[in-house]
Structures are given as structure tokens and as C-alpha cells.
Amino acid sequence: MIQDRFSRRTLLIGGATLLAASPLGALAQDAGPAIHVMKDPNCGCCSAWIEILENDGFAVTTEQSAGTALMRYKLDSGIPQEMASCHTARVEGYMIEGHVPVADIRRLLGKRPDAVGLAVPGMPYGSPGMGPENEREAYDVFLIHRNGSTDVFSHYAAA
């Protein structure tokens, strides 16, 4: 009688091979842009926005921050105080402030302007993560230039 013996190394290599050949392995290899989100640990709308990003293929990591530490991070990253919202993200060298729609993030990454990034100041109702889009209030997505000035990048009319 032959006794099969598996070492830990054999099991790990076999498991990695199966994962790479599986649909989950394909998802990991084709993951969208990596985005790192700084958020208040108690913020539910931030979590809703993160879920939207994940569902659209972004590889999201998060870090908890709050109060003056989070505001300092925003300012140090080039986000003007009047553009501030509840969470701040970094993706491919750009800052994303607040409830910016995924389509705008993807357009920014496609155009690659010389800018700090995008912002949706405040927390407009109906923006991604802030309630139903069919009840949305009008809001703008701003492009933040390196000198701190802003231009409207996208406009979303009230629903």
C-alpha cells in the first residue's frame, strides 16, 4: 500500500495553480485601477461609495482616519478646503475627493490632465453612495488644478 504524503509546499503550489486557472484568478489578474481611500471609520456613505467602486472593478484599499488628521491629509494632498467632502482617495497619482462618480474617475484616468484630481464638495443627495440617483439633486464634479483653482469637469442635473 502506497501512502500519499503532501508537504505544505505541494499544497500551496497546487492551490495557487488552481486559483490562477479559476475565474477568481482571472478577476485578480484583470483587477481595475488600485484606489486607496481615507475615510472616517463611522461613515456609512463612504462605505457605499467604496462598494460602488468595487462593483465597477476598482481594487480598493481603505485606511481609517478622522477629524483634523483627515483634513490635514486632504490639504497636504492639494485639496482646497472649499472642495472638501467626507472621504479622500488616491488613484494613479490623482486625488478623488468625495462622491465622484466612477465614470468621471475613469475619464480622468483616460485623459490624464496635469491636475490634482477631482472633487464633489459636500455630500449632494443622489451622488454615488448618497441615496437614489433618481432623486438626485444637481451637483458638479470639479477638476482641481495644481494651483488650487477649479473648473467644472462634469455636471449632473437634478433628477
- The alpha-helical segments, DSSP class H, found in 5-124 are 8-21, 23-29, 44-55, 67-76, 102-111
DSSP state of 101: -
Could you report the per-residue pLDDT of 104-125, keeping only the tens digit for each? 999 999 999 999 999 999 999 9
pLDDT in the model for residue 19: 41
For residues 149-155, give the mean pLDDT: 98
Q: How confident is the model over 14-42, as pLDDT tens digits?
A: 444 444 444 444 444 456 899 999 998 88
The CATH class of the 33-156 domain is alpha beta
